[in-house]
Amino acid sequence: MPGLYFDELTVGQVFQHPIRRTITEADNVWFSALTHNPAQLHLDEEYCRTETQYGQRLVNSCFTLGLMTGISVGDTTLGTAIANLGWDEVRFPRPLFHGDTVRIETEVIELRESKSRPDAGIVVFMHRCFNQKNELVAHCKRSGLQKKKPAA
């Protein structure tokens, strides 16, 4: 199992996830359509070229959040997560555009015992998303309920 148990995580631990992903126009249009988001910023190239400061369509921020979390799963929670408890302090300091390539890093920023589940703990991750210029484009805290290592 590639994910880590609660007991195997330490505060300050940083994961440099090996998966990188180039964002395509299809990713952005498909995700925006699938989630019923008709914002011109994601779908209307002419509007963005003439009416916005960016001059091109922006990648849907919810796609960015999902990708940032998804890329982290294999190294952190795959097979060991019980539940995602929520995202906090979600920020997008720079836009992403079609053709940008992202990389993700994750830091364990908090660990605490579950009060109701002796077989689990709560972990808080800080996910950070960088573009190909190494500029921070997104970050968030994500809390999850994580399995503890089974007794031998």
CATH code at position 111? 3.10.129.10
Q: What pLDDT shows up at residue 152?
A: 72
Q: What is the mean pLDDT of residues 139-149?
A: 97
Distance CA 10, CA 111 (A): 8
Indicate whether 95 belongs to any domain: yes
Q: What pLDDT shows up at residue 1?
A: 57
Degrees, nearest 5: CA angle 35-3-92: 40
Answer positive or negative: Cα dihedral of 47, 52, 56, 59. negative
Residue with tokens 């914002």: 39
Range of the domain at 60: 6-147
Indicate whether 132 belongs to any domain: yes
Least confident of 1-10, 60-69, 119-128: 1-10
Q: What percent of the chain has pLDDT over 70?
A: 99
Indicate whether 152 belongs to any domain: no
